[in-house]
Homo-oligomer: A and B are copies of this chain.
Amino acid sequence: MNIDIFGYFAAILTTAAFLPQLLKTLKTKKAEDVSLITLIMFIVGVISWIIYGYQISSAPILIANLITLILNFLILISKIYFSKTSSQ
């Protein structure tokens, strides 16, 4: 068995995992229970992974983290947007 199979499987899962969160937030129109600090720390961390991936020329790190960044950025924007609309 290819030793990298768990690496690819892991990268796909820890990236795609944020899609259900985004869909749930868009559907319920709230993300009050989702920690804002977690989202911000995670996004800054993912941006650092992208810089690191670029520095060491690792396409898998770059691609996985770019998708993770987009998904988490959309979750963050949705959370902020829905928290504003619900408090009005």
Contact = CB atoms under 8 A, between A and B. Distances in A.
Contacts of A49: 6-7, 10, 14
A33 B31 contact: yes
A58 B11 CA distance: 16
B17 A48 contact: no
Nearest to A42: B17
Interface string A1-19: 0011011011111111111
Given A13-B42, A24-B35, A34-B34, 18 more contacts: A6-B51, A7-B49, A9-B48, A10-B51, A10-B52, A12-B45, A14-B42, A17-B37, A17-B38, A17-B39, A17-B41, A17-B42, A18-B42, A21-B34, A21-B38, A24-B33, A24-B38, A30-B33
